């Protein structure tokens, strides 16, 4: 069955430290992959998306993600987190032929001062 | 360009009431989604419209939840009758066309059912 797994419900990182949020997917064919962020009391907004091509994708605010077909993963990274990155991050996958997005359960990022 | 607009931002209802949530998608978008968001279940699809036609009505939500798209720029989600377990954030999202496109979300309506 198609699925997206974000194994970490919560990640705590010190401000200025590097970050990796994990996402694994199970999907037939070549997927489109997304990371969305949800700041408190707001809807979700796109951070970055992957189309078949270069496996490393650059996003907004210094975020990047790397697609790995062999590992079925699309992990999100940032070299140095800022307190304003405190939010919930969602990984999602879709195919052009199918309207559905399959969503992960989200990872809450907490920033320590 | 205006984003997705949802009203009201907050709604409080008594058990058994009928409530209607509203959504205006991004102008020109063809796909519109309604989601329910809770801490336990995460994002659950309620309805999906393509070019105003209902394509998916969210299985488990059929009996008390009804979404409509009266025109390409306005959609409603009716919950009738409400139950306390319906307390959640309801999100509307739109996109241009197809699975590769970015979803644009509204800020959501927080529903509390007493």
- Domains of chain A, first to last: 3-112 (2.60.40.10)
Euclidean distance between CA atoms B22 and B75, whole angstroms: 6
Q: Both ends of chain A: CA-CA distance in Å?
A: 41
Quote the pLDDT of residue A28.
Answer: 77
User: Among partner residues A41, A46, A94, which is closest to B99 by beta-carbon distance?
Assistant: A94
Choose between B41 and A108: higher pLDDT.
Answer: A108
Mean pLDDT, each 10-residue run in order, chain B (114 residues): 90 97 95 94 92 85 89 95 96 87 94 97
Interval A38-95: pLDDT, tens: 999 889 999 999 988 899 999 999 999 999 999 999 999 999 999 999 999 999 998 7
| A-chain residues near B104 (CB < 8 A) | 45
pLDDT at B34: 96
Residue in A32, A36, A103 nearest the CB of B42:
A103
Summarize pLDDT for B1-27 with one digit per residue, the tens. Answer: 579 999 999 999 999 999 999 999 999
Q: Interface of chain B against chain A, CB under 8 Å? A: 4, 6, 31, 42-43, 45, 48, 50, 55-56, 91, 93, 98-100, 102-108
CB half-sphere exposure, B94, CA atoms < 13 A? 24
Q: Cβ distance A23 to A89 under 8 Å?
A: no
Q: Is the peptide bond before B8 cis (omega within 30 degrees of 0)?
A: yes
Question: Does the beta-carbon distance from B91 to A32 stay under 8 Å?
Answer: no
Domain that holds residue B47: 5-113
CATH number at residue B94: 2.60.40.10
Can you give the length of chain A in residues? Answer: 113
Instruction: Give the total number of structural domains in chain B.
Output: 1
Distance of CA A100 to the CA centre of its chain: 17
């Amino acid at each position: 069955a198609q699925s997206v797994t974000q194994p970490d419900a919560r990640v705590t990182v010190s401000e200025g430290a590097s970050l990796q949020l994990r996402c694994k997917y199970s999907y037939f064919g070549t997927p489109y992959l997304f990371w969305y962020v949800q700041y408190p009391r707001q809807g979700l907004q796109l951070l970055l998306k992957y189309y078949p091509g270069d496996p490393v994708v650059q996003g907004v605010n210094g975020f990047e993600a790397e697609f790995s077909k062999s590992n079925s993963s699309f992990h999100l990274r940032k070299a140095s987190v800022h307190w304003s990155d405190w939010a919930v991050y969602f990984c999602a996958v879709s195919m052009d032929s199918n309207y559905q997005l399959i969503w992960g359960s989200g990872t809450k990022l907490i920033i320590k001062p | 360009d205006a984003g997705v607009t949802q009203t009201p931002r907050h709604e409080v209802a008594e058990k058994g009431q009928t409530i209607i949530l509203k959504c205006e998608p991004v102008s020109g978008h063809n796909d519109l989604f309604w989601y329910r968001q809770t801490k336990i279940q995460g994002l659950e699809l309620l309805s999906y419209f393509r070019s105003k036609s209902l394509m998916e009505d969210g299985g488990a939500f059929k009996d008390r939840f009804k979404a409509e798209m009266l025109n390409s720029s306005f959609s409603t989600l009716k919950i009738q009758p409400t139950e306390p377990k319906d307390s959640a954030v309801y999100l509307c999202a739109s996109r241009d066309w197809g699975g590769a496109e970015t979803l644009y979300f509204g800020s959501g309506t927080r529903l509390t059912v007493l």
